[in-house]
Structure 1
Amino acid sequence: MAALRYAGLDDTDSEDELPPGWEERTTKDGWVYYANHTEEKTQWEHPKTGKRKRVAGDLPYGWETRN
């Protein structure tokens, strides 16, 4: 645990973490939606916080867009 903190990778219980079986995805225009693989459904609101999110800008280095 201390090694993770030293490396800047704190173990966190952030409310933004997704429950097991969930995945965060993004549309081409930056809107974030959530896929529930257990129930095979999607939704715009975060499953824990109920908030909607939009991201802007280019993908981080090494990431790629798939269609």
Structure 2
Amino acid sequence: MPEILTGLRIGLGVGWSTLVAAELIAATRGLGFMVQSAGEFLATDVVLAGIAVIALIAFSLELGLRALQRRLTP
């Protein structure tokens, strides 16, 4: 069971990175698109806020999976 949860944590990181990268390249909405379009208009505050939100979501998901792993494994 610990190996499965470790795999989920790794997969979550890869999946989240891929999602944001796809939004940067081809989306018309989303956090990645917001960061990319704000960068084109030199809105540094929006870029930094978007990056902070992306990092906060990733960190929250990681903490949630760590808590689940602690609860389910001895």
Instruction: Report TM bin, short chain.
Output: under 0.3
Structure with more of its chain in strand, by fraction: 1
TM-score, structure 1 length as denominator? 0.20
| Greater C-alpha radius of gyration | 2
Bigger relative contact order, structure 1 or 2 (CA pairs below 8 A, ≥6 apart)? 2
TM-score, structure 2 length as denominator? 0.19
